[in-house]
Amino acid sequence: MARVTRRNARARLGAQPSKIDRELRRFAKAARALSADRPRLIAEYPSRWVGIHDGRVAAADTSLKRLLARLKRSGIPPQEAIVRFIDRKEKSLIL
């Protein structure tokens, strides 16, 4: 297996390691906000789609298509946000 160096890191990873690190930290912040704020999200955005970016709700709508458009208008690429439907009822998973 070839060794990853600074010179070939961008080609192998698709971006500079520093950019990937920033994006992963931003995603982790948004994920923490989603799980920690679930009761607040249910109270404020029941039965709505939300886009969480950089630890905050960046957009919300009843339609997924409109939510994605709102994110884009805000300058947030949808692939950089956590998009989730806020359901009032918690789902039980049977494994």
pTM greater than 0.75 (yes/no) = no
Burial class of 20 by CB neighbour count within 10 A (0 to 12, 13 to 18, 19+): middle
Q: What is the pLDDT along the chain (95 residues), one digit of tens a residue?
A: 556 566 665 565 567 888 888 888 877 877 777 777 788 889 999 999 999 888 889 999 999 999 999 999 999 999 888 899 998 776 655 66
The predicted structure's pLDDT at residue 28: 80
Q: Return the pLDDT at 56.
A: 87
Provide the pairing of β-strand 48-53 with 56-61.
antiparallel
Sequence-separated (6 or more) residues with CB below 8 Å from residue 54: 26, 29, 30
What separation, in Å, do the N-terminal and C-terminal C-alpha atoms of the chain show? 37
For residue 50, give every residue at least 6 positions away whose Cβ sits within 8 Å of its Cβ, in sequence order, or none.
41, 57, 59, 60, 67, 83, 84, 85, 86
